[in-house]
Amino acid sequence: MSDLYQLLSDVNVQARSRLSIDSFSVPVDYAEPDGPHIRIFLRNLIPLDEAKGSGIDAAESDLPYLLYLQGGPGFGVDLSFSVDLGNAVSSFCPHSREGLQDLTIYYEQASQEKTLWLDPRGTGLSTPITADIFQTKQMDDEAIAKYLKHFRADNIVRDCETIRHFLLDGKKDPEARKWTILGQSFGGFCAATYLSFHSDGLKEVFIAGGIPPMVDSPDPVYEALVVKVEERNRVYYAKYPQDVRNVRRILGFLEGNNVVIPNGGNLTVSRWLQLGLQFGSHGGIDRVHQLVFRAITDLDTFGKLSYGLIDSIQKTQSFDTNPIYAVLHEPIYCQGRRAGWSAQRVIQKNDRFVWEKVRLMSDDVPIYFTGEMIFPDMFEDYHHLRPLRGAAELLAYDEDWPMLYDKEALKKNQVKVNAATYYDDMYVDFGLVQQAASVIGNVEQLITNQSFHDGIRKHMESILTTLFELSKRERD
State the catalytic residues. 185, 425, 453
Beta bridge partners of 184: 208
Helix (H/G/I), strand (E/B), else coil: 115? strand
Q: Residues in the chain, how many?
A: 476
CA distance 104 to 44: 25
The neighbour count for residue 356, using CB atoms within 10 Å, is 9
CA distance 419 to 174: 26
The neighbour count for residue 293, using CB atoms within 10 Å, is 14
**Ramachandran bin of 340, using left for φ above 0, alpha for ψ from -120 to 50, beta for the remaining angles:** left
CA distance 270 to 104: 51
The neighbour count for residue 139, using CB atoms within 10 Å, is 16
DSSP 161-210: HHHHHHHHTT-SSGGGG-EEEEEETHHHHHHHHHHHH-GGGEEEEEEES-
Strands (E), 15-130: 17-27, 37-47, 65-69, 114-118
Instruction: With beta carbons less than 8 A apart as the criterion, state whether 45 and 19 touch.
Output: yes
Q: What is the dihedral of CA 384, 390, 391, 392, to 10 degrees?
A: 70
Residues 6+ apart with CB under 8 A from 410: 192, 195, 196, 439, 440, 441
